[in-house]
Amino acid sequence: MTGIGILSTGAYVPKQIVAGEDVAGPAGVTPEWIERKTQIVTRRYAAPDEATSDLAAHAGRQALERAGLTAADIRYLIVSTSTPDSPQPPTSYVVQSLLDADGAACFDVNVVCSGYVYALALARALVAQDPGTHALVIAADVYSRILDVHDRKTVVLLGDGAGAAVVGGVDTGGFLDVELSSHGHARSLIRVEAGGSRVPTTHDTVDDGGHLFRMDGRGVRDFVMANVPGAVSKLVERTGHILADVDHFVPHQANGVMLSELVTLSGLDHAHTHRTLERYGNTGSASAALALDDANTKGHLAQDDLVLLCAFGGGMSLGAALLRWTGTR
C-alpha cells in the first residue's frame, strides 16, 4: 500500500419525505419561494424512534458491506455530528454498540457541517501511523429535532441523513492533501445558544427557543464567498495541480443558489459538481458524505479521477480534501 484512500462509501436517509408545502406555511413563505431561494424541493426527517446513532449505524453498515469488511475489522470509528443522541456518552459509542464494533477506538467530532472532511483528515492520519488498519468515518445529523418551524432562515433548508466512508490503505491514489481552518471570531453566525455550560437548559431557555438552531444566512454566505475559494485554490496548488485538473467537486449542500455562485467564484465551472440538496436539503455534516456516496454509487467517479471535497459550517469552519479516486464502491 502506497497511500491512504476511501475504500467504500455508504448512506442512509429517513423514509419520511418533507415537501416544501409541509414547511412553508408555518415559516410564512410559499413552496415557490423556497425553491427559488434554495433550490431545495424535498428533505427527509427522522422517524420519532430514530436518533442520530440509528442513521449513522445504517450508513456505516452499508459502507462496511461494500468494502467487504466486518465491524471487527475497524480499528477507528469516528462519528461527525452536531446533533448527538445526548450530551453524554459520545454518539460514536452508541454506534459502536449498534454495529458490534467492539475492537474499535471511538470518538465524536463536532465541527458542524465541516465535520465529514475533518473526520476524514483524522482517519487518514490515524491509518497512516497504524498501517494495515481501517477507519470507519460516519457523518450524521438529525436537525429536524432542533428546528424552529417559524424560522424561514433555517427550517426550509435542513433535513436529516447520514453518510459513511471506510478509510484504509490503497495501492495507488487516495488522499493527496487536506486543508482545514477555523474562524472562531465568526462563531455567532451559526449557533444553538442554550443547553451547554454557559447557558444551561431551564424552563425559560426552552420557552424562549434557546435550544433551537439559529443562523445568520447572509453572514454565512458572505463568509463562504470570502474564504472558501482561496482555501480550495491553496489546497489544489499545494498538490502540484491547477483548478482545471479537478474532475469532480463534492461540496457541502448548504443552499443551491449559493452553491452555484460558489462554483463559479472558485473557478470550478468545468468540474462535475455533485448535488443532492434538491432531494435531501442541507443535512449538516452528512451532506457532503451523501453527495459523495451518490456520485460513487451512480458510477460517476472513475479510477484516477481527481475529486475535491469541500465543506463549511459553524464555528466557523472550513475543510477541503483532494484525492485521486481509487475506483472502489
Q: Which three cell numbers stand for residue 73?
A: 475489522
pLDDT, position 328: 72
Tell me the pTM. Answer: 0.97
* Residues contacting residue 53 through CB under 8 Å, at least 6 positions apart: 79, 85, 91, 94, 95, 98, 140
For the chain, domains (ranges, CATH) are 3-171 (3.40.47.10), 176-324 (3.40.47.10)
Amino acid of residue 135 = A
Q: Which of 271, 279, 283 is nearest to 243 (CA)?
A: 271
Distance from the first to the final alpha carbon of the chain:
18
pLDDT of the chain, 329 residues: tens digit per residue: 689 999 999 999 999 999 999 999 999 999 999 999 999 999 999 999 999 999 999 999 999 999 999 999 999 999 999 999 999 999 999 999 999 999 999 999 999 999 999 999 999 999 999 999 999 999 999 999 999 999 999 999 999 999 999 999 999 999 999 999 999 999 999 999 999 999 999 999 999 999 999 999 999 999 999 999 999 999 999 999 999 999 999 999 999 999 999 999 999 999 999 999 999 999 999 999 999 999 999 999 999 999 999 999 999 999 999 999 997 77
Which of the residues are catalytic? Answer: 113, 252, 282
